[in-house]
Amino acid sequence: MSIGYACLNIGTPNTNIRSVMQRNATPEKLAEVTAHNLAALERMIDYNCKNDIKLFRISSDLIPFGSSPVNSLDWPEIHKEDFDRIGAKIRKSGMRVSMHPGQYTVLNSPTEDVVERAIADLIYHDKSLTALGTDTSNKIVLHVGGIYGDKEAAMNRFADNFRRLPENVQKRLIIENDDRLYTIEDVLKLANQLQIPAVYDNLHHAINSPPSGGTDQYWIDEANKTWKEADGSQKIHYSQQAPGKRPGAHTDTIDLETFLQFHNHLEDPSIDIMLEVKDKNLSAIKCQNATTAVPKPLLLEKEWGRYKYAILEKSPAVYQAIRTLLKDKEAYPVQEFYRLIDTAFAAETHLGYAENAAAHVWGYFKKHATDTEHKQYEKNLANYRNNTGTLATLKRQLFKIAEKYEVDYLLQSLYFYLE
């Protein structure tokens, strides 16, 4: 089983994906931003390799205007060295990658221009995955689209337009149930007709179930029948409903107890689970640590090294509780560890706690800092204390100094990224 996350990485510097406004989309600018995005992708892949994450969704925004005539560059060739290097890392690690076009890629639209753009976008996604040297187990996930007053006709139109796709794109395409229009039963009907895999999404099913109902495991089993050997292991999407938000809104983090209840009912231990959650890789590692076949206290120690100052900022009491919890080097209290972390982040930030955490971080380089840096730190701290400045400003300075003095332990800390 692999547990993965989508598109963005929290806590790894320089992993932001940039975009280009059309008025600025010169060949030079497009090449520059593409190079930046590929470098960001490589850092995320490196992170995944280091943390044994085997499932990752690549942002559709990797290549600016990748499916548009605005970008006429031969970007797979221009950036071939980057694609080859990143692809080699993906393959060597055994990582499985995917892409998921957005809401405007609608293959079953009754408007031909929209369909043509959707086809071009799917070709772009396949081109990206092909440039990385990945096989057909690395998929493109798509929703069926709209209903347009006649679901049966809309599904037939999807099938007709699917057949217009190049064969290599067809081999990568998989379809997913959504939270409004197409249930998992609808998607399975279409998947079986086209002989392509179906992706089961648990939260979409909870919101938009077929009249026949059916449990998660029932529909996972049914979806599994659509996956062939060339498609790789069956893949599902997992998320949790954010309390008090619109139906389908994802939680900030995965509640581990709820996830484990779902996980423990899975019959296939080889299934791949893509988490859809706001804290991305943080939840992926949380769920990975909770389901590992070889529990090692070192896994929690490693996590604690990244979380500790962010926790200290939120709750000194939780900070001490986790330190006590981890003193037993033979135990593996993974659920309690993450429960305490979630408890800390549910609390409001207290000025005194934030000052204390900042002082601990400042302690790493206060003996090396220049007079100017000392004065700026004291000024930022005073401004925050007096409500004339922000904690974010104080932490930005601390981050820049950590970069300057190359304090890797701090640069890998989540203190600078979590609030």
What is residue 76's predicted lDDT score, i.e. its pLDDT? 98
Same domain, 170 and 263: yes
Model confidence at 322: pLDDT above 90: yes
pLDDT digits (tens, 9 = 90+) for 106-116: 999 999 999 99
Residues 257 and 347 in one domain: no
Give the model confidence (pLDDT) of 58-76 as tens digits: 999 999 999 999 999 999 9
* Residue pair 130/123 in contact by the 8 Å Cβ criterion: no
Residues 169 and 39 in one domain: yes
Q: Which domain holds residue 341?
A: 294-419
How large is the average pLDDT for residues 330-351?
A: 96
For residue range 145-180, list pLDDT tens digits in order. Answer: 999 999 999 999 999 999 999 999 999 999 999 999
Residue 284 has pLDDT above 90, yes or no: yes
Of 253, 273, 291, the domain-final residue? 291
The predicted pLDDT at position 42 comes to 98
- Do 28 and 106 belong to one domain? yes
CA distances from 98 to 95, 110, 137 (A): 10, 27, 9
The whole-number average pLDDT for the span 86-95 is 98
| Domain count of the fold of the chain | 2
Contact 164, 206 (CB under 8 A): no
Residues 341 and 419 in one domain: yes
Final residue belonging to a domain, choices 247, 276, 291: 291
What pTM did the predictor assign?
A: 0.95
**Are residues 365 and 387 located together in one domain of the fold?**
yes
At 284, which CATH number? 3.20.20.150
pLDDT-derived band at 379, boundaries 50, 70, 90: very high
* C-beta of residue 209 within 8 angstroms of C-beta of residue 247: no
Given this model, what pLDDT does residue 61 score?
97
pLDDT for the residue numbered 208: 97
Average pLDDT across the chain, whole number = 96
Q: Per-residue pLDDT for 337 more than 90?
A: yes
**Cβ 64 vs Cβ 30: under 8 Å:** yes
pLDDT of residue 245: 95
In this prediction, residue 270 carries a pLDDT of 84
Is there a single domain that holds both residue 285 and residue 171? yes
The string of pLDDT tens digits covering residues 30-67 is: 999 999 999 999 999 999 999 999 999 999 999 999 99
Residues 284 and 299 in one domain: no
Q: For residue 418, with 0-12 CB atoms within 10 Å meaning exposed, 13-18 middle and 19 or more buried, which class applies?
A: buried
Residues 7, 134, single domain; the answer is: yes
Q: Is 322 found in the same domain as 279?
A: no
Last residue of a domain, one of 244, 268, 291: 291
In this prediction, residues 228-248 reach a mean pLDDT of 96
Spatial separation of the C-alpha atoms in residues 361 and 313, rounded to whole Å: 11
